[in-house]
């Protein structure tokens, strides 16, 4: 019997590949002395010095003993008295039809009459014309009509002063003005 008949060709190829792989792996383990030297040199080098930790500053404690004094960010005593005194809108009176519109959206289109009985004609944004008299209200800032002339209406509005109070502000609507 021949040896070639006992060993199959595929088995022979597998053995050759296994032998070749063993030789290649064996070659990888040779010649690593230079790598080991380089690693030893790197380990022997001194590293950069680490900077020392910063010194922690100690702060002086401060006891705030002025809690009973006036708040510097709050209103002063004078501002508090002006917030309670001065003009105020009358919240109990019924609202008039032109008070639902902003003053700049109303337009004076004319007047009827003369003298103390004069009335102005005001056109609202919906196109409806309203007759108004002195001491009636219009606009969203409690604007009270103080005077009516042929070419304009004078009003006094009440606006918030930012401190809980109110202040008067003059306003007017001119004839033909938008």
Three-state secondary structure along 49-88? CCCCCCCCCCCCCCCCCCCCCCCCCCCCHHHHHHHHCCCC
pLDDT at 1 over 70: no
More confident residue, 170 or 114: 170
Mean pLDDT of 127-150: 93
Read off the tokens for 103.
């003053």
Beta-ladder partners of 154: 147, 172
pLDDT at 10 over 90: no
pLDDT at 178 over 60: no
Beta-ladder partners of 137: 144
Indicate the pTM of the whole model: 0.53
CA distances from 24 to 28, 112, 162 (A): 7, 116, 89
Whole-angstrom Cα Rg for the chain = 49
Mean pLDDT of 60-68: 84
Mean pLDDT of 31-58: 86
Q: Are 152 and 174 in contact (CB under 8 A)?
A: yes
Q: What residue segments make up the domains of the chain, in order of their start?
A: 95-174
pLDDT at 64 over 90: no
Mean pLDDT of 20-45: 80
CATH fold group of domain 95-174: SH3 type barrels. (2.30.30)
Residue 5 pLDDT level (bands cut at 50, 70, 90): low
pLDDT at 133 over 80: yes
**What are φ and ψ of residue 132, in 5° steps?**
-130, 150
Please give the share of the chain, as a percent, with pLDDT higher than 90. Answer: 39
Read off the tokens for 164.
């809980």
């Amino acid at each position: 019997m021949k040896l070639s008949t006992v060993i199959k060709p595929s088995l022979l190829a597998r053995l050759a590949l296994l032998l070749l792989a063993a030789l290649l792996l064996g070659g990888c383990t040779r010649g690593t002395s230079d790598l080991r030297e380089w690693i030893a040199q790197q380990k022997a080098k001194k590293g950069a010095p680490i900077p020392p930790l910063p010194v922690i500053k100690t702060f002086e404690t401060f006891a705030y003993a002025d809690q009973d004094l006036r708040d510097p960010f709050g209103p002063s005593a004078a501002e508090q008295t002006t917030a309670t005194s001065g003009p105020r809108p009358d919240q109990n009176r019924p609202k008039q039809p032109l008070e639902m519109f902003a003053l700049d959206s109303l337009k004076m289109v004319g007047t009827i009459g003369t003298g103390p009985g004069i009335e102005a004609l005001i056109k609202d944004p919906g196109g409806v014309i309203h007759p108004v008299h002195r001491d009636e209200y219009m606009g969203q800032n409690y604007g009270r009509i103080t005077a009516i002339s042929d070419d304009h209406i004078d009003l006094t509005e009440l606006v918030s002063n930012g401190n809980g109070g109110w202040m008067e502000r003059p306003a007017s609507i001119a004839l033909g003005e938008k």
